[in-house]
Amino acid sequence: MKATGLIVEYNPFHNGHLYHLTKSIEQSNADVLIVVMSGHFTQRGEPTILNKWERTKMALANGADLVIELPYAYSCQHADLFAKGAVSILTHLHVNELIFGSESGNIDELIQLESITSGIDFQKAVRKWVQTGLSLPKANAKALEEFNFTKELGTSPNNTLGLYYIRAVNELQSPIKVGTLTRIHSDYRDQAPTHDKISSATSIRNLREQRADFSTFVPKNVQDILDEHYRQTNTYHTWETYFPFLKQKILTLTPKHLVEIHDVEEGIENRLYSAMMKSSSFEEFMDAVKTKRYTRTRIQRICANILTHTTKEWIHDLQLATGAPYVRLLGATPTGKQYLKSIKKDVNVPIYSKFDSKGHPMLKHEQSVTAAYSSILPEPHCTNLNIAEFSNFPLHFER
């Protein structure tokens, strides 16, 4: 069986994701489609609109055959480790091809760009611009111009993430073939829809919070899951809803203990504490903390690490650069189960179909992640989600 892999967040699943999924199957002629999906927090450090079990349902209902969890230690990280974790999981599962969306749509162009940007001379150029006071993204754009690449090619968000996927394949010496599809109609940063059928996940989340109609941008089964979640919990998973819990954590930890949290560096623990003392909302807090050096995305990841108590020492001990140490199955179709059975003897890491309290520390940390994520939910939903973390078997979906 030929396996194609996607690296996703589905926050939430929308028509653009459906296009990516179906076109990837067509382009690769795959027999089985495997998605590696972030759990409860995204790469940009945001809580997901729905929990991982509900987003697994969305993926299976719309064409995925296996849904594998990208552990928090990788999912809420800078792009290099995010990509390395996901690519290593796809490699463990003997995936033939990884297909990602990009603004370029030209895999040869992106492979060439990755080769140059990972080189010593390019990295020296980036450091030179950083030393002038530019932020890392702006320094990267200046270096691209020095090497006669358009700024857009190397700084467009999906192109950039694609470069890290290509780099991870190379550094892990993975046999996976890499391909790309052109992202159509919307940019992931769009705050409002720009097309009548395909819109960014950001704009869909905004529409949902505003109680506006988003039905034309998502499959019907996705809208049903979103509507049912809100009907039961009357809750949106946004940083604003987590703000009281974040405030309590920061002000009770104090700077002395905040410095132990992963990604807290260069005295920012004092800035976090003093800003939180004066802030009455998450947006006010963000405005007070972020700088050229500390972007919104990085601050959000720090906030997620604070909520989940993810420490520097714990991350260091995991040796993330070597790749994910296990595979955790969240859901499968009969085709996915058949594929997993056919390769199981050749997979060199544990495959968890259920939480194992004696499992890898990275797996056990998911309990803390779920506890943080579930904290805003009313009872009994909060307790039920925490129980699901260690009691759920993979979701089964008959297509």
11 belongs to an annotated ligand binding site: yes
313 belongs to an annotated ligand binding site: no
Alpha helices in the chain (DSSP H): 15-28, 52-61, 72-75, 79-92, 107-117, 120-130, 136-146, 151-155, 157-171, 201-209, 220-233, 239-258, 268-278, 282-289, 296-308, 312-318, 334-343, 361-374, 381-391
Residue 72 CA to residue 164 CA, distance in Å, equals 18
SS3 call for 8: strand
122 belongs to an annotated ligand binding site: no
107 belongs to an annotated ligand binding site: no
Residue 86 CA to residue 89 CA, distance in Å, equals 5
262 belongs to an annotated ligand binding site: no
392 belongs to an annotated ligand binding site: no
188 belongs to an annotated ligand binding site: no
348 belongs to an annotated ligand binding site: no
Residue 290 CA to residue 300 CA, distance in Å, equals 10
Q: Report the run of H or E that residue 67 belongs to, with start and end.
A: strand 66-70
394 belongs to an annotated ligand binding site: no
Residue 91 CA to residue 247 CA, distance in Å, equals 40
12 belongs to an annotated ligand binding site: yes
Residue 354 CA to residue 237 CA, distance in Å, equals 25
184 belongs to an annotated ligand binding site: yes
399 belongs to an annotated ligand binding site: no
Residue 59 CA to residue 8 CA, distance in Å, equals 10
40 belongs to an annotated ligand binding site: no
Residue 395 CA to residue 261 CA, distance in Å, equals 33
Give 179's DSSP letter.
E
7 belongs to an annotated ligand binding site: yes
13 belongs to an annotated ligand binding site: yes
Over its C-alpha atoms, the chain yields an Rg (Å, rounded) of 20
Token pair, residue 160, equals: 């950039």
Q: Give the CB-side neighbour count of residue 171, counting CA atoms within 13 A.
A: 20
134 belongs to an annotated ligand binding site: no
Token pair, residue 66, equals: 């296996």
10 belongs to an annotated ligand binding site: yes
384 belongs to an annotated ligand binding site: no
Question: Residue ranges for the binding site?
Answer: 7-20, 101, 158, 183-184
Question: Residue ranges for the binding site for ATP?
Answer: 7-20, 101, 158, 183-184
